[in-house]
Amino acid sequence: MLPLTLKTFTDSGCFTHLVGCRATGQALLVDPKLGKRASYLKTAADFGLRIVAVLDTHTHADHLSDSLAFLDSGTELWMSAKTACRRAHRELADGEEVRIGNLAFRVLEVPGHTNDSIALHGHGLAIVGDTLFAGSLARADFVGSSHAQLLESVRTRLLTLPDDTVVLPGHGYRDILFTTIGHERRTNPDVDPERAASGLRVVGSKTDANTPEVEFNLRTNRAARPKLPTTQPTAVACCAPTSAAPSGPRPAEKTCEELAPLQAAIANDRCWIDVRDPWEFQEAHIPGALSYPLSELGFHLAELRRAGPAILQCRSGVRSMTAAKTLRYLGVIGQPINLAGGILRWQELGLPVEK
């Protein structure tokens, strides 16, 4: 069993990660977004976790951090020792070890997108903030950004980690939840020295001034006690480059009516994978399905590769589509099929489930 529990929250391309120690129930929340706290707390409780620290991997330009609310409720805030944020925080230095229950992670300074960007590495996991994305790099055109420094950070601090390291980025705009160091080293065009030198993909030409909305976010996220709006402002910048590679074709999707005969057949050459959370799987699942929670798929890539062709399912078909896109992006499952309508539709039709 994994020593940790992982849950990634996605919201308009922004990713927040909950990393919990299974043994002690202590958890770290990474890059929380204003307005989403109830959802973070409910999920932590569902997993039997207690959030003991919040990490902002850098001063965010694209959204407002929820770190202040956690600070006010007695939770520690962790940020880089180099940050200009005036909120009370534990100052993390390069090479330092941080602990969450029995879990230990090493702090890596990875400047470029911002001067105060840090990543955590440990337990086969790299939480990288806005540096390396699936198939691209973060923007480096804010005032104070440096594309050369970002590239150097990614090449020397991240791409030197073991190939099978699961990478949790701060953003994903193509519905790809995570990636691996080996996959990005082999395929990411923005870290390829020849392509970068040829200027085929210009990632962030530096500007002299930030947009007003970026300035508002930065000023608010740096302030000790800013007046916060009750919800996240709708007009936000994006932290991905505009040159980010387009999505590939949508994975195949089939209805419950189409797939039910396959499930019932004795000779079924496809593996049925349920990506819901463990308690959802326990309540009811398709007979013979295997449980691989979406946020933790990255730790099971070798098994999934051996499993071969797969039919992916979740509650309604949304999370399993993310799983299908991510596993196909990584080349783990070549032609995944998503179950349209998910278990909800399956049960509506009176098809068999196991409890």
Torsion of CA 227, 229, 232, 235, to 10 degrees: -90
For Fe ion, the closer of residues 109 and 130 by Cβ is 130
Query: Rounded CA gap, 272 and 323, in Å?
Result: 13
Cα 108 to Cα 23, 59, 78, 127, 296, distances in angstroms = 25, 16, 13, 10, 22
Binding mask of the shown chain, residues 11 to 50, with x at each position contacting Fe ion by CB under 5 A: ----------------------------------------
We find the least distance from the C-beta atom of residue 16 to Fe ion, in angstroms, to be: 13
For Fe ion, the closer of residues 130 and 277 by Cβ is 130
We find the least distance from the C-beta atom of residue 256 to Fe ion, in angstroms, to be: 40
Binding mask of the shown chain, residues 299 to 328, with x at each position contacting Fe ion by CB under 5 A: ------------------------------
Which residue in the block uniquely carries the two structure tokens 């062709």?
309
We find the least distance from the C-beta atom of residue 152 to Fe ion, in angstroms, to be: 18
We find the least distance from the C-beta atom of residue 114 to Fe ion, in angstroms, to be: 7
Cα 95 to Cα 29, 31, 91, 121, 310, distances in angstroms = 20, 20, 12, 10, 40
For Fe ion, the closer of residues 139 and 174 by Cβ is 139
Cα angle 95, 96, 99; round to 5: 135
We find the least distance from the C-beta atom of residue 58 to Fe ion, in angstroms, to be: 6
For Fe ion, the closer of residues 51 and 239 by Cβ is 239
Number of residues that bind Fe ion (CB under 5 A): 2
Among 296, 12, 332, CA closest to 172: 12
For Fe ion, the closer of residues 239 and 286 by Cβ is 239
Torsion of CA 294, 299, 303, 305, to 10 degrees: 80
We find the least distance from the C-beta atom of residue 171 to Fe ion, in angstroms, to be: 7
We find the least distance from the C-beta atom of residue 271 to Fe ion, in angstroms, to be: 37
For Fe ion, the closer of residues 130 and 280 by Cβ is 130
Q: Which of residues 165-224 bind Fe ion (CB under 5 A)?
A: none
Q: Which of residues 80-139 bind Fe ion (CB under 5 A)?
A: 130
Tokens of 326: 């991510």
Among 231, 218, 80, 89, CA closest to 144: 218
Tokens of 282: 């326990």
For Fe ion, the closer of residues 214 and 301 by Cβ is 214
Cα angle 188, 11, 21; round to 5: 80
Binding mask of the shown chain, residues 225 to 254, with x at each position contacting Fe ion by CB under 5 A: --------------x---------------
Cβ neighbours for 146, distance < 8 A, ≥ 6 positions apart:
111, 112, 140, 206
Tokens of 262: 């396959």
Site residues (vs Fe ion, CB under 5 A): 130, 239
